[in-house]
Amino acid sequence: MKKPLVASLLLVLSVLSWPRAQASSADPFRATIPDTLQFAEKQLRATANALPLSAYPSSTALDGSWDTTGSGSWTSGFLSGTFWYMYQYTRNPFWRLQAEQWQTGLESQKFRTDDQDLGFMILDSYGHGYRQTGNDTYRQVVLTAAESLAQRFDPNLGYIRSRGDLSDTEDFRVIIDTLMNSELLFWGARNGGGREWYDMAHQHALHVLETHVREDGSTLQTVSIDPRTGTIQEQSKEQGCRWNTTWARGQAWAVYGFTMAYRETHDPRLLQAARRTADYFLQHLPADKVPYWDLEVPHRSQEPRDSSAAAIVASALVELSQLENQPRRAARYWYAARDILISLSSPAYLTRHKQSRSILRHGTAYKPHDKYDTGLIQGDYFFIEALLRYSSARPPARAAWTPPGEAEAPLSRRGEDPSMGTDDVSLSFSLRLMSLPSEDAGLPSHEGDLMGHLLVRPSGELALSNGEIEIGARSIPLKVGQAYRILLRQKKDSGPYTILEAYLAREGEDFECPFVSSRVVLSSPASGPPRSAALAPLDAIVEDLEVHPAPR
């Protein structure tokens, strides 16, 4: 009687092992993933041994060590989350211990109502802990964080406020990144929170689709809304090149965020949003499938890549391939994820044999502030997530499919320098700070505030304001004694909107991407010649002031 039983067991074992063996032979990349994860484990052990529990890695320094932040940084949850992923993969208690130790210092963040990054901080740490251990204390931490984030939702506008004080009645700023953090509300609604959290996250995703996704599937990073009327006051960039180009990681947040929102809601509008943003991303990749830091940045061959954006999209595409109801699209997204992961696992992007604590290199944190070509903790987190998702997912049924851009009509790219009309103004001047101001100090602007005031902050950063509201991003801090050239541009756009841009370059260097590039409703009508504005005394030399009625 025993022989038939043994034979039956052998048959069962052979049947159970067949799909994995078949998958490895059909997909050689899967066979390489354990080796890559073994390398990642080595890097993460070195990080765990090198850093105190109060120091959270963000990006790598020139010597390859981690620059760190406190627990309040938006990236603070990613290390614990990566440790949880290693515990999921290895079941080694060491990784559970590391994850639990590193997340402990984050618990106090659950009460914050002044920040939209609670999903990154708490869901990506304690959320993984609850999923893998069932510890109800962890669930309660995440639910408290969701309750805190819910307070940033405005029921009249239908958005989660990304920036600013909850009582601000002048400006309501929404960045594309917040779509990622809305998962905290979806999770909370499924795990003991109120149904209203689900509705908040759903509404936020639909409104972001309306205001942040352009017709061609590209995305805006930042939109400022008038809280009183709901009208758009400003469309701008912070980490991209210009307001009307596409920041690579922002596009990645959109692909991932809309995919997640569709998984939670099954709303076909959000599936379409995930498709559109994914297709645009894939159509703007270079040959090695890792994007430049901005998808439309000029002089691309000279520009840095962003491996973190590639990792985020790879993870999203694996999930999208499993959710997609059209076989051709499912196959396309699966193979696109595979191609990206093959590239990231190669010597060109993996830090194997390099002096670095990170797993991936060539990440871009904030190119306008010269933070690029580095390891990024969020890149490592999403890379590990993508590898684990790819390893456990079922490949879509083979179907006839065509690479993005060939099956559909190719999308035209937006020009970098749209022509400016006769009402446009270009103003440039040289600036040398002799000392930093004690408070905000004004620089040349336009009479009647038609061109936003350019301010020097006590930190040395330049900021552009439109009336009382600061717009766009700030520049890198200016060095005392260094000569700079500054260019301001104003271009009338459709309807009530005007495009304002501010450029900064060291004297003798060419202007590259502006540090401010925003589409705004001006605070006052355009009229009059340039003038000098002053909010506080400024010890500086301003020379070679030039005004042009046409683009330079």
- Known catalytic residues? 117, 177
Sheet holding 530-532, edge to edge: 469-471, 462-466, 453-456, 441-446, 530-532
Q: How far apart are CA 365 and CA 358, in angstroms?
A: 14
For residue 56, the cross-strand partners are 69
Amino acid of residue 270: L
Strands (E), 434-515: 441-446, 453-456, 462-466, 469-471, 483-492, 497-506
- DSSP category for residue 360: B
Euclidean distance between CA atoms 470 and 121, whole angstroms: 27
Number of CB atoms found within 10 A of residue 536's CB: 13
Amino acid occupying residue 37: L
Does an H or E element contain 69, and which?
A: strand 66-69
Closest to 36 in 3D by CA, of 286, 278, 347, 280:
347
The residues, ordered by sequence, that sit 6+ positions from 403 with a Cβ below 8 Å of its Cβ are 332
Comparing C-alpha atoms, which of 379, 395, 403 is closest to residue 310? Answer: 379
Q: Which residue has the tokens 């009479």?
A: 447
Residue whose entry in the numeric block shows the structure tokens 């069932």? 134
Round to whole Å and give the CA distance between 382 and 408. 29
Backbone φ and ψ for 41, nearest 5 degrees, come out as -60, -40
The 3-state DSSP class for residue 222 equals: strand
Distance CA 328, CA 127 (A): 33
Q: Residue 476 class from Cβ within 10 Å (0-12 exposed, 13-18 middle, 19+ buried)?
A: middle
The H-or-E segment that residue 235 falls in is: strand 232-236
Contacts for 387 with CB less than 8 Å, ≥ 6 apart: 33, 36, 37, 341
Close Cβ partners of 493 (under 8 Å, ≥ 6 residues apart): 499, 519
